[in-house]
Amino acid sequence: MTTTSGTETTTGSLPASEATSADTPTISCRGVWKVFGPHPERVVGSADADLPRAELEARTGCVAAVRDVSFDVAAGRVFVVMGLSGSGKSTLVRCLSRLIEPTAGDVLIDGDDTAHCSAQWLRDLRRDRVSMVFQHFGLLPHRRVLDNVAFGLEVQGKSKSERHARAGDMLDLVGLSGLGDSYPDELSGGMQQRVGLARALANDPEILLFDEPFSALDPLIRRDMQDEVARLQRELKKTVVFITHDLHEALKLGDEIAIMRDGRFVQVGTPEAVVAHPVDDYVRDFVRDVPREHVLTAGGIMRAPVDGEETAGTVTETTLVSDLLPIVVESERPVAVLDGDGRVSGAVDRLIVLRALAEDD
């Protein structure tokens, strides 16, 4: 698994959670399987499990939605799972809070195993630590917006004044001030999903799960909502698992991206790594239309520095290639690349940039 170097996430600003130590990932999946059908446990780990979907179904009557998926998400990071419909990503995200019981494998939240716990523990986990934003918003039609946002707090048993105050704050946060008295069907799709977002944030969870939250929205509104999530994430620093079928959305929001196909992770890596080095044709197909200069960074394409070479100007490792282009075009000489501490860590020249943009490996 690739570790990221391109984005600056400071772990110091994390909310102090008693279970979180520096090296315990907030979410940890270990060999998670979900098989639907008769005797699902027989499929797990068997030779059948590697069969294509149709063959597996013909032979065992089972559908393997998630096959042997493992990943970690560190606190405050955004982990995006990307795949086409039917690839098992929605099932996977439901396994995290055990809305769907995994057939095999472990899910650890802050190091706590969710498999061997009481129903009450699981409820408390969902009430206090994990929230979810749904594809179809999941707003309750009979409740006002304010009471929809307050739903999680109501379930926790908070008093009316307390939860309404908190819900009002959340509506302010997502830019819906003053709409608390409306009913969901009186709002536009984008506004409805803002309500869903506010509801997920209302109980101040450590973990936010997004299940294709914007796929039902118009492209323009979708972009607004992505910006909104990016903004909120900068402010709130939640640990996020984000499901999407939109590569641009994944690249925009993800610290790390997993490409999922037929229940398996095909590739896991930083957005840059996925675009620059797709592992197979499937992923390559996905990233073909991505404007590479908006994803690749100087740090990702640079060569090692040569002692004593003359450079013209400097950029940092996180500089996007799109910003690098005008610089190298102006300069005959290579450009020095500085790491986070201001030391020269590499260099780029025209040839390297052109090769990176043209590359189709």
Partner 1 sequence: MIAAFAVLLARVWGNPIATWWNFRIGPWIDSVEEWIILHRGNHWLFRWGFDPIARWLHNLVQWDLNALHFVTWPGLIALVVVVAARVSGIRAALTAGAAVFVIGGLGVWEPAMVTVALMLVSVAIVLALGLPLGILSARRPAFERRTRVVLDAMQVMPAFCYLLPCVLLFDIGYPPAVVATVIFALPAAIRLTSHGLRGVPDRLMEVGTAHGATARQSLLKIQLPVARPALLLGINQTINLALGIVVIAALVGAEGLGQEVLAGLQHLDVGQAFDAGLAIVAVAIVLDRLTAGRPLRAARKFRRDRTPERARIEMLAGAGAVVIAIVAGKLWSSGAFPTSIDFSLHDPVNRVVEWCRDNLRTGVPIVGGTGSISDFTVIHLLDPIRDFLTQRPWWEVICGVTAVAWITAGRRVAAACAIALLVVTGLHADGSAGGSIWIDTMDTLSQVLVAVVISMLIALPIGIWAGRSERFFAAIRPLLDAMQVMPAFVYLVPVIGLFSVGRVPGIIASVIYALPPGIRLTALGIREVPPETIEAARSNGATKFQILTKVQLPLALRSIMLGLNQTILMVLSVVVIAGLVGGGALGVDVVYGLTKSELGLGVEAGIAIVALAVVLDRMTQAWAVGVRGVAGSTRLRTPPRAIRIGKTKLLDQLETA
116 sits near partner 1 (criterion: CB under 8 A): no
Nearer to partner 1, 203 or 270 (CB): 203
Residue 155: CB minimum distance to partner 1, A: 5
Cα–Cα dist 180/172, whole Å: 10
155 sits near partner 1 (criterion: CB under 8 A): yes
Contact with partner 1 (CB under 8 A): which of 33, 71, 151, 286? 151
Nearer to partner 1, 26 or 203 (CB): 203
Nearer to partner 1, 116 or 142 (CB): 142
Using CA atoms, how far residue 314 sits from 84, 153, 305, 337, in Å, is 40, 51, 12, 6
Interactions with partner 1, residue window 199-238 (CB under 8 A) = 203
Nearer to partner 1, 41 or 181 (CB): 181
158 sits near partner 1 (criterion: CB under 8 A): no
Contact with partner 1 (CB under 8 A): which of 16, 22, 142, 310? 142
Nearer to partner 1, 139 or 225 (CB): 139
Cα–Cα dist 216/183, whole Å: 19
Structural tokens at position 191: 């506004």
282 sits near partner 1 (criterion: CB under 8 A): no
Is 264 strand, coil or helix?
strand
Interactions with partner 1, residue window 1-60 (CB under 8 A) = none
Scanning the chain, the segments in alpha helix (DSSP H) are 40-43, 53-60, 89-96, 119-124, 145-149, 151-156, 160-173, 189-202, 219-236, 247-253, 271-276, 281-287, 298-301, 321-330, 350-358
Q: Shortest CA distance to 304 belongs to which of 345, 343, 339, 340?
A: 345
Contact with partner 1 (CB under 8 A): which of 1, 84, 140, 354? 140
What are the φ/ψ torsions at residue 318 (nearest 5 degrees)? -90, 0
Binding mask 164-183 for partner 1 (x = CB under 8 A): -----------------x-x
Contact with partner 1 (CB under 8 A): which of 40, 83, 102, 152? 152
Q: In this chain, which stretch among 56-64, 134-142, 166-174, 288-296 interacts with partner 1, using CB under 8 A?
A: 134-142
* Spatial contact of 344 and 327, defined as CB atoms under 8 Å apart: no
Radius of gyration of the chain (CA): 23
280 sits near partner 1 (criterion: CB under 8 A): no
Contact with partner 1 (CB under 8 A): which of 39, 59, 136, 231? 136
* Spatial contact of 221 and 187, defined as CB atoms under 8 Å apart: no
Is 32 strand, coil or helix?
strand
Residues that bind partner 1 (CB under 8 A): 97, 99, 122-128, 131-132, 134, 136, 138, 140-143, 151-152, 154-156, 181, 183, 185, 203
